[in-house]
Amino acid sequence: MTAMIVILGLFGLVAFYVIGVYNRFVTLRNQTQNGWSQIDVQLKRRHDLIPNLVNTVKGVMEFERDTLTAVVDARARAVSAAGPAAAARAEGELTQALGRLFALAENYPQLKSNENVKMLQEELSSTENKISFARQFYNDIATKFNTGLQVFPANVLNALFGFQIAELFLVPDAAEREVPKVDLSMRK
């Protein structure tokens, strides 16, 4: 009789544990998805702004066709990128292409004084800031979710539940990854 009660009690505890783990995974997964959708909103906004920018500057910057094409292509790749990891790579390239465009635009006084260009540049840099701040939040929560899935004994239970590891949104640091330009001309 007592053995029955003990066994039943143990079953109850295990059941409680399993339910608890499952519910924690669901909560974390939803938070992760929410974090991703915050980034996604900003990425979409960025993709929408770029055609406006290109249309505004292309009349003046007609000799910079290569740079403009690079931006348009990078945008197309970013739009079609699926999942956080692929998106992060494509967005990193887009950031670099845009950086070159803005650096070149500095040479055109009529662009620098153009209200429209100024506003688009502000919108784009604000969007980039928002992405980088939202990224931090997303990566934190996704890492928490992944760690929860991978530690023992929750990982054994997950064979039952089948939650997928979340991809991180890791933007390669442009300054870090780019090959440094070495000036060997030794100007004196």
Quick check: 168 binds another protein (CB under 8 A)? no
Select the residue interacting with another protein from 45, 77, 130, 144 (CB under 8 A): 130
- Residue among 47, 40, 35 at smallest CA distance from 123: 47
On whether the CB atoms of residues 122 and 116 are closer than 8 A, the answer is no
Q: How far is CA 107 from the centre of its chain?
A: 31
Q: How far is the CB of 47 from another protein (least distance, A)?
A: 18
Q: Would you count residue 118 as binding another protein (CB under 8 A)?
A: yes
Stretch that binds another protein, among 83-91, 98-106, 112-120, 173-181 (CB under 8 A): 112-120
Token pair 């949104």 is found at 169
Instruction: Determine the residue type at 167.
Output: E
Total number of residues shown for the chain: 188
Kindly identify the residues of this chain, within the stretch 81-100, that bind another protein according to CB under 8 A: none
116 is a site residue for another protein (CB under 8 A): no
Residues at the interface with another protein (CB under 8 A):
38, 115, 118-119, 122-123, 126, 129-130, 133-134, 136-137
